[in-house]
Amino acid sequence: MSSRRRIAALSVAAGAVVLGGAGAFAIAQAGEQEPTLAHSAARYTAPTGGHDGSLAFTTEVTASSGVRSLKVLAWPAADSQLGKKPPTAKELAAVESATCEAAAADTARCTYTTPVSTADAAASPHGTWHIAVLATARNGTTTLDTRAADFEIG
């Protein structure tokens, strides 16, 4: 093989290694994308006639590595101690999880439901409340949405 052909062959091989490395980097970057939320909704039912009410929240979480968990917390928008600042990711990491079921290869449909007693409803600030969520993918990336959905207590 002439030296010119050898240099050309080495250049092509080096180019393939560089391009292959860039492709692997792009795939690794794509795998590290934060989870995304879609179709989030909250429904609050007030307690009546001696029966508990409920708070239900649903959303779809998409993460290329799969969904590990979805933490859910309701917080008031009113000017109360609780409503002064949105919850942090650290605070949400310690709250209850939604139940998530696979809806597609990389998407889970998550539902969180909790009862609301008459005493809880009476002690809660009236007005708009927000649902904050912390979605965690299997690869450890997270998404914090402090206003994933709203509901009214009145």
Query: Hey, where are the domains in the chain?
Result: 1-31, 36-153
- CATH 2.60.40 holds for 36-153: yes
Residue 14 scores a pLDDT above 80: no
Q: Average pLDDT, whole number, for the chain?
A: 83
pLDDT at 79: 64
Residue 30 scores a pLDDT above 80: no
pLDDT at 15: 39
pLDDT at 131: 97
pLDDT at 89: 96
Tens-digit pLDDT profile for residues 46-104:
999 999 999 999 999 999 999 999 999 999 997 666 667 899 999 999 999 999 999 99
Q: What is the CA radius of gyration of the chain?
A: 24
pLDDT at 27: 44
**What are the Cα distances from residue 111, in Å, to 18, 49, 87, 145, 154?**
45, 26, 20, 16, 23
User: Considering the chain, what percentage of its residues have pLDDT values greater than 70?
Assistant: 76
Residue scoring higher pLDDT (124 or 4): 124
Number of other CB atoms surrounding residue 140 within 10 Å: 9
Residue 1 scores a pLDDT above 70: no
In this prediction, residue 33 has a pLDDT band, given cuts at 50, 70 and 90, of confident
Q: Is 108 helix (H, G, I), strand (E, B) or coil?
A: strand
